[in-house]
Amino acid sequence: MLVWSVLYFGIKYYQLFQLEKEKSLRSEALAHEAQLRMLRYQLNPHFLFNTLNAISTLVLQQDTESANSMLTKLSKFLRYSLDHDPLDQVDLAHEISSVKLYLDIEKVRFEERMKIDLNIAPDAERALVPSLLLQPLIENSVKHAIARSEEGGLIQICARVAAGKLIIEVADDGPGIPDYSAVVERNSAASGGVGLKNIRNRLKEIYGTEHELTFSPREPVGCKVTVVIPYETE
């Protein structure tokens, strides 16, 4: 009788332990999902603020044609955002199409001052990436390399696959950054850190230690941001 009692209570304890473990894992997963959603939704207000400011300037300048063009492109970009859940991963080709929408918006502001160079390898196009991963990185280049120069500048977007990793580079020919080692850690709004901090946190939430986000000088001038994540396809 004692043996059966010990066995019974042992089984019951094990079942309760497993149940609590499952609850804990579910809670952790929900917290993880909530964190990702929060980080993802932070992107749109930041981008929207900058774009509406630009439209307001065009209206004040009575450049109604450019203002209307920017509003039309903005609506298409926001539709893309709404059509994708914050937890979605999309293939890089799809992500590049959203980048082109964003660049079309900025083209209204900068016209010929902004030059774009895309170099995406075919196998990289199939890679899965978090939706709207690139827009804050490109926005940072626009702010620091294009907007501050009367002559404008160049933004390069490259992607390739090597050793089971997707390597994405966003580079510009702007003035560069004095201290590349500290740029992500500072996270100050003055240095464009809101979007950069967001990207860093999203990558950490999704990939843990299996990612890299680095800043380095671009030769002969400028800044280069490199994102390395696992190469995954559908």
Domains recognised in the chain with CATH numbers: 42-230 (3.30.565.10)
pLDDT at residue 118 is higher than 90: yes
The chain-wide mean pLDDT, for the chain, equals 79
Mean pLDDT of all residues in 142-148: 85
Closest C-alpha to 159, from 225, 89, 234: 225
pTM of the model: 0.73
pLDDT of residue 10: 63
pLDDT digits (tens, 9 = 90+) for 166-196: 999 999 998 887 665 555 555 444 334 556 7
pLDDT at residue 221 is higher than 90: no
pLDDT at residue 202 is higher than 50: yes
pLDDT digits (tens, 9 = 90+) for 94-112: 999 888 988 888 887 788 8
pLDDT of residue 67: 87
pLDDT at residue 34 is higher than 70: no
Cross-strand pairs, 89: 130
User: What is the per-residue burial (b if ≥16 Cβ within 10 Å, else e) of 53-92?
Assistant: ebbeebeeeeeeebbebbbebbeebeebbeebebeebbbb
